[in-house]
Amino acid sequence: MSTIAYVKNILKDPNIASITPTSKSGVREVCSKMNLNQRVVIIEYGPATGVFTNYLLERITDNSLIVAVELNETFAGILENNIQDKRLKIHKDSAENIDQIMDQYDQKADYVISGIPFSLFTPQLRDNIVKKTKDVLNSGGKFLPYQTFFQKDRHLKDHLTKHFSSVQDGYFFRNIPPMRLYEAVKGEGKYF
Ligand SMILES: C[S@@+](CC[C@H](N)C(=O)[O-])C[C@H]1O[C@@H](n2cnc3c(N)ncnc32)[C@H](O)[C@@H]1O
């Protein structure tokens, strides 16, 4: 179902940038960098049909919050129709507006996960999103973008290094296509 929705949608919207959702093992790998045993605020950029969202809703505490920001109207509608959970707030919007979106919640995030395609964005948009992401995180919070393996440093890593105090990256091969994973920490870490 999800792959069909992706294929139909990508023909109309190149920003989807993938024809299939992230694999279960890819989702587990990204989420293993979060501590979900306490209340957390998670922002998710580009949830599409919710492969990460559903995984996280099964694991976060009852008082945690996920703020999902999806630019594609069809995907945002699918998410709204398929997931009814008071811990999930869905915004049909762009990640570049995350500062205004988070003003509504009056709290900062512990984690931001992101599958949005930085390589398709202009350098200015990449930098805006990375800077605003740092600003909406708590000190010690993490930005965890997952991208396709062929991504160049100038597409994302250089911007992460500019704005975050610690940046690590690596490759994950149990996904088609393989992924490039990043872990950018704001200030002193209190999580791991
Ligand atoms: C490669 S898909 C990832 C989908 C899903 N998270 C997964 O792991 O399978 C990228 C998603 O990002 C969304 N997207 C692209 N640009 C965006 C932006 N500026 N703000 C929010 N979502 C965006 C697309 O509509 C699409 O749903």
Give pLDDT tens digits along the chain (192 positions). 577 877 777 778 878 777 789 999 999 999 999 999 999 999 999 999 999 999 999 999 999 999 999 999 999 999 999 999 999 999 999 999 999 999 999 999 999 999 999 999 999 999 999 999 999 999 999 999 999 998 999 999 999 999 999 999 999 999 989 999 999 999 864 444
Phi and psi for 85 in degrees, rounded to 5?
-150, 125
* H helix count then E strand count, the chain: 7, 7
Fold classification of 23-185 is Rossmann fold (3.40.50)
Cα 116 to ligand 1 centroid, rounded to whole Å:
4
Cα 75 to ligand 1 centroid, rounded to whole Å:
9
Residue-level pLDDT at 190: 44
Would you call the peptide bond into 14 cis, given omega within 30 degrees of 0 as the criterion? no
Which is nearest to 166 in space by CA: 141, 132, 149? 141
Q: Is the distance from the beta carbon of residue 95 to the nearest atom of ligand 1 less than 6 Å? A: yes
Q: Is the distance from the beta carbon of residue 101 to the nearest atom of ligand 1 less than 6 Å? A: no
Cα 64 to ligand 1 centroid, rounded to whole Å:
22
Which is nearest to 69 in space by CA: 5, 124, 114? 114
Name every residue whose Cβ is closer than 8 Å to that of residue 19 and which is 6 or more positions away in sequence.
3, 6, 7, 10
Q: Is the distance from the beta carbon of residue 112 to the nearest atom of ligand 1 less than 6 Å? A: no
Q: Does the global pTM surpass 0.85? A: yes
Would you call the peptide bond into 177 cis, given omega within 30 degrees of 0 as the criterion? yes
Residue-level pLDDT at 92: 98
